[in-house]
A and B are shown apart, each in its own frame.
Chain A
């Protein structure tokens, strides 16, 4: 009966996030590791909104950014509205890019569990999230050099000159727009080749979960050059081995902008929390970058200090800018 408790969020996704209209073709994509209760809540809300709803279940792809099977990609391309309720993000895949190029609107709730459908980030005032995101995106739009430091020793500098700041505030009401829920990011693709520095003991790595062993990632001229540490370092090195040079690309920088998000150990929610920041390695095309890779991995910091062209925007995980 937990579906009932998800009704409010499911309805919010249809009515507010996606503005689903009667007769629209809605594809809910899920996989065999996700709770069917969430799928049911979404499908019910989709039918209530009058959408012609199709549920597609696949095997988990294993990692964010990995292309879904051709069968799923074909269904996505024929849909007007897509909800990704799988285990992994498809934001940085050709399948999703082809669908949005044809005008599909996408809501990404990958990795969301039953609790996250009821509490936390999804309950935010998304108008407020949008306002905060727009202010920070504008700072990216106007800024050039971004400098991230953390108490753990991270110290990374890169340029965002000429790169657009994307507002990810949960809305995907226009053709080709995509949203992740819970949402709240001001994000961009740093200029390729400009990032230099080191990431030390980040809080979490996408697909590798909350970090436990020491980890040090060295970055030179926009690429990861060295990864040292324990379990996470070993796994990351294996992934980078497979992904090749494009996987080493510093692909994303983002501010979290959602005040309602909690720290849950689930990247989906944590990385949207206001005051946090993340960078990603791998594919950057969906954020206006030029690198295509089979992977896109977020690396997240809980208490960053972020300066843009010398001005402090976030200090130890708290927004200093009055928004």
Chain B
């Protein structure tokens, strides 16, 4: 893979996502398991933008959310812009919270491969993603009832009156903002206790992974009432039983992917952002403006959904019927 192939994505992160300004202190964090060429591409772009760039290489952490070693944490606290190119997410660490509280802007490219720097979601025009996301968010906010159907048999209706949709578009241009990449979705938290329907054979789900067995999840009065299928379904049943009651909240989230460059691949992060896909979640939805506080949040992604807003079809089998203004 050539470094020149990564220039577009690196420039996008530097110039669009983070808007790095001349003279800003930029810290790129990576670890010994990550491809050095990505670090070089990012550093090259950041230096081109006039950033005062420092690269810190650490040992890979053992798990997402583990605190980075103290020299890295200290360097983060002194940075205006942070790009995490390490293997694991450092989103949920004191080091990141301190840096953001100090006004840093942070882009998270954790576990990026060379391939992901050249193809797919990160190569999008994020200004376009933002326009599409804003437009779809307006439509979702205006709707009171949303129906989701799929060729596999999913048919779910959620009620959203009074719930505002959020456009998640990957920008971190203001002090304290955080961006995960690739990004792009318009999303809201449906009213709790109202959703009715059935989810059949989604493409992929967090916790479970790519769906390889029959799967059927019945939802009534906003709760999961029945999950059946094979071992994958059993794993979810077990997970629900072993956790808090709010985990049964469904649908906790309804979302439309808005990134045309994202690809269909067994990676929830990327496929759930793809334009034309939809996803729902069960469990926690507090950060989306809902009231269900749970210890987990599991996404279910649909590749060829049809979506009806107050009975008007805007998306048919994964293709939009309305102008998205992109």
Contacts and interface: CB of A to CB of B under 8 A. Distances in A.
A56 B55 contact: yes
Interface string B1-41: 00000000000000000000000010100000000000000
Interface string A51-62: 011111111000
Contact of B25 (A25, A70, A76, A79): A70
Given A52-B69, A59-B52, A71 B59 contact: no
A237 B319 CA distance: 70
Given A69-B52, A75-B56, A54 B69 contact: yes
Interface residues of B, number: 22
Interface in B67-101: 69-75, 77-79
B58 interface: yes
A41 to B, nearest CB: 14
A75 B75 contact: yes
A236 interface: no
**Which residue, of B73, B74, B75, B77, has the highest number of chain A Cβ atoms within 10 A?**
B75
Interface in B247-264: none
B78 A58 contact: no
Nearest to B47: A59
**Which residue, of B27, B53, B74, has the highest number of chain A Cβ atoms within 10 A?**
B74
B77 A74 contact: yes
B69 A71 contact: no
Given A71-B25, A74-B75, A57 B55 contact: yes
B78 A59 contact: no
A75 B72 contact: yes
A27 interface: yes
Contact of B58 (A54, A73, A78): A54
A59 B71 contact: no
Nearest to A70: B78
A72 interface: yes
A69 B57 contact: no
A78 B74 contact: yes
B56 to A, nearest CB: 5
A125 to B, nearest CB: 33
A232 interface: no
Interface string B273-297: 0000000000000000000000000
B53 A55 contact: no
Contact of A71 (B43, B47, B57, B78): B78
B54 interface: yes
A25 B27 contact: no
Interface in B134-178: none
A57 B56 CA distance: 6
Contacts of A77: 74
A77 B70 CA distance: 10
Nearest to A29: B54
Contacts of B54: 56-58, 69, 71-72
Given A58-B55, A75-B74, 17 more contacts: A25-B71, A43-B57, A53-B58, A54-B56, A54-B69, A55-B57, A56-B56, A56-B75, A58-B53, A71-B25, A71-B27, A71-B75, A73-B78, A74-B77, A75-B75, A77-B74, A78-B70
Q: Which 6 A-B pairs have the closest CB atoms?
A: A74-B78, A78-B74, A55-B57, A74-B74, A75-B71, A75-B75
Interface of B: 25, 27, 43, 47, 52-59, 69-75, 77-79
Interface of A: 25, 27, 43, 47, 52-59, 69-79
19 contacts: A25-B69, A25-B71, A27-B71, A53-B58, A54-B57, A55-B56, A56-B71, A57-B54, A57-B56, A58-B53, A59-B52, A71-B54, A71-B75, A71-B79, A73-B78, A75-B71, A75-B74, A75-B75, A77-B74
